Structure 1
Amino acid sequence: MRRYLRRISLVAELRLFGVRVALVASGGGHVRQLLDLEPFWSSAEYFFVTEDTALTRALAAKHPVYFIPHVALGQARLGKPVAMLMAALRSFFRSWRIMWGKRPDVVITTGAGSSYFPVLFARMLGAKIVLIDSFARFAGPSAFARIAAPLAHIRVAQSADAGRNWPGSWVFDPFRRLDKSRPAKESLAFATVGATLPFERLVSLVDQAKRSGLLPEKVILQSGQPLKCEIDPSIEVHPTLTFEEVNSILARAEVVICHGGTGSIITALQQGCRVIVVPRSFARGEHYDDHQWEIAEAFAHRGLLSVVGNDDDIAGAIAHARASDPVCATLVPDDLIGELKSLVAEWKLGRIGDKAKVSDGVLPRI
């Protein structure tokens, strides 16, 4: 079996050059997970389909990228159904033009809402679909995964519990603690609201912490948009930062205060920062649902970060973070990359038909 797997892997390396791969994801952590799969897609003819954010604009400077509008079902839940429908209509036609023109052989998607139409049209045009559910979903599949699952040939969950609650999925848990010393740190705190939505409460909490002396460090804030309120003048504010700029700051930052997106959390943990998470709340109109609470609590349960609860106790969270040992951790998707290479090789060789599905989490072998 190992000899067979090595042969398939070698065939995959050789054959991916003739495969056109579409990498489809919304902004933020979803597209960052696609970047982690670069050893897979870099040997193919590839292109990205994603939302227009600071991260993806930087991505477009180095890779072929096609932008589509931001669409999410939660927009209607937050009282913006017309905006959602208009964005969906624009995405429908834009996605069709992209997929009709590019005709990918394989689509790798990590969701979410804006990814649906590109995946749908690619499937209609004969592409094979690999749906990788967000690492943010620890207990079960996301709404996007449930909706898009009928379009997928292969479904991938990234935790054991999520896999058990998503029948027919592979399970690859990429999370790894790193046994290494963290980078030398400066007296620096970095706060970020992420790339997609504004987050005024996080900005207010950071301002409060700075004014009260809880953050004696220099503070850099990525605000997501020009600020509408006055904050402590010593805070260095940037509406947007490139991915490279963020990584440079994280390498030096002792403390990171961020929203509950996996991309922000993982990049901070990779640099050994003391991480404090302020999860967005649906009840407060800060996000489309409460999945950031699930993310924050799952990471906190592993002893990786501190969480600001509904009481907005930023002082308690900062004190907890300073008293805890910082942890270095990352995502290592090597096993998934190897299976994707084998799978695409078998598809290209015609050994797995269009109707092949995974029923037990094991790659079907012919």
Structure 2
Amino acid sequence: MQIDPAERSATVLAIASIGGHWVELQRLSPLFKEHDVTYISNTRNMDTKVKGSKHYYVPDANKDRKLDLIKCFFAVLRRVILLKPRVVITTGAAPGLMGIVVGKILGAKTIWIDSIANVEKLSLSGRIALKVADRVYTQWEHLSNDKIVYSGNLL
């Protein structure tokens, strides 16, 4: 189900779980200055943190809470369908991975940036994103390969 680029309402959809993932995503925000960016996180009332942009809440989820994963997935699905972004970018975790999956299905460019905290290997969500995302970035050169891009310290 590809969406005509002319019908897309958001240029960039930036998704992250609250905490370190959110902080890392916010560090990327200068890159979005020239774009219409919308944020999604698993915390309410973040509008003051993303001044000039829209923010939407989705329920928190993780691999140990299966019902919450389903709720989160449908909330992300709804937002991606309504926003029709050109690009979905995330620093993780579960909501971001879901955004990557749905964005890819709907024809958006998808970018996963694995957390700087993942020194030994990609995160579980990052390893799954590797199978779906257009680009997967790591913060550590020794983790790069033909599928995982290292472009220096992004965060």
TM-score normalised over the length of structure 1? 0.38
Matches within 5 A, 1:1-16: none
* Matched AA of 2:27: D
Structure 1 residue 53, shift from structure 2 partner: 5.9
2:130 match: secondary structure: helix
Task: Tell me which residue corresponds to 1:136.
Answer: 117
| 1:63 and 2:53 aligned | yes
- Give yes or no for contact 1:59–1:65 (8 Å, CA) kept in 2: no
* Residues 154/162 of structure 1: CA separation in 2 closer, same or farther (3 Å cut): same
| 1:52 and 2:43 aligned | yes
Structure 1 residue 33, shift from structure 2 partner: 1.2
Task: Tell me which residue corresponds to 2:24.
Answer: 33
- Find the aligned partners of 2:121 and 2:100 in 1 and give their Cα distance: 21
Choose which of 124, 130, 138 in structure 1 pairs with 2:105. Answer: 124
Q: Deviations over 1:112-145 (max 9, x none)?
A: 1222222211111100101111111112211110
TM-score normalised over the length of structure 2? 0.84
- Give yes or no for contact 1:96–1:118 (8 Å, CA) kept in 2: yes
Structure 1 residue 173, shift from structure 2 partner: 3.7
| 1:172 and 2:151 aligned | yes
* Matched AA of 1:169: I
Larger RCO, structure (CA 8 Å, separation 6 or more)? 2
Higher Cα Rg: structure 1 or 2?
1
Q: Deviations over 1:254-280 (max 9, x none)?
A: xxxxxxxxxxxxxxxxxxxxxxxxxxx
- Find the aligned partners of 2:108 and 2:55 in 1 and give their Cα distance: 19
* Matched AA of 1:41: F
Task: Tell me which residue corresponds to 2:141.
Answer: 160
Matches within 5 A, 1:284-299: none
Choose which of 29, 33, 36 in structure 2 pairs with 1:42. Answer: 33
Matches within 5 A, 1:214-293: none
- Find the aligned partners of 1:139 and 1:57 in 2 and give their Cα distance: 34
Higher helix residue share: 1
User: Gapped runs of 5+ residues in structure 2?
Assistant: 1-8
Task: Tell me which residue corresponds to 2:6.
Answer: none
* Matched AA of 1:115: G
Task: Tell me which residue corresponds to 2:73.
Answer: 92
* CA RMSD, Structure 1 to Structure 2 (Å): 2.2
* Matched AA of 1:34: L
- Give yes or no for contact 1:163–1:171 (8 Å, CA) kept in 2: yes
* Matched AA of 1:141: L
* Matched AA of 1:171: Y
* Residues 65/116 of structure 1: CA separation in 2 closer, same or farther (3 Å cut): same
1:150 match: secondary structure: coil
- Find the aligned partners of 1:95 and 1:109 in 2 and give their Cα distance: 13
- Find the aligned partners of 1:102 and 1:133 in 2 and give their Cα distance: 24
Task: Tell me which residue corresponds to 2:62.
Answer: 72
Task: Tell me which residue corresponds to 1:347.
Answer: none
Q: Deviations over 1:72-96 (max 9, x none)?
A: 11xx2xxxxxxx1221121122111
Structure 1 moving runs of 4+ over 4 Å: none
Q: Deviations over 1:198-222 (max 9, x none)?
A: xxxxxxxxxxxxxxxxxxxxxxxxx
- Find the aligned partners of 1:168 and 1:138 in 2 and give their Cα distance: 17
Percent pairwise identity: 25
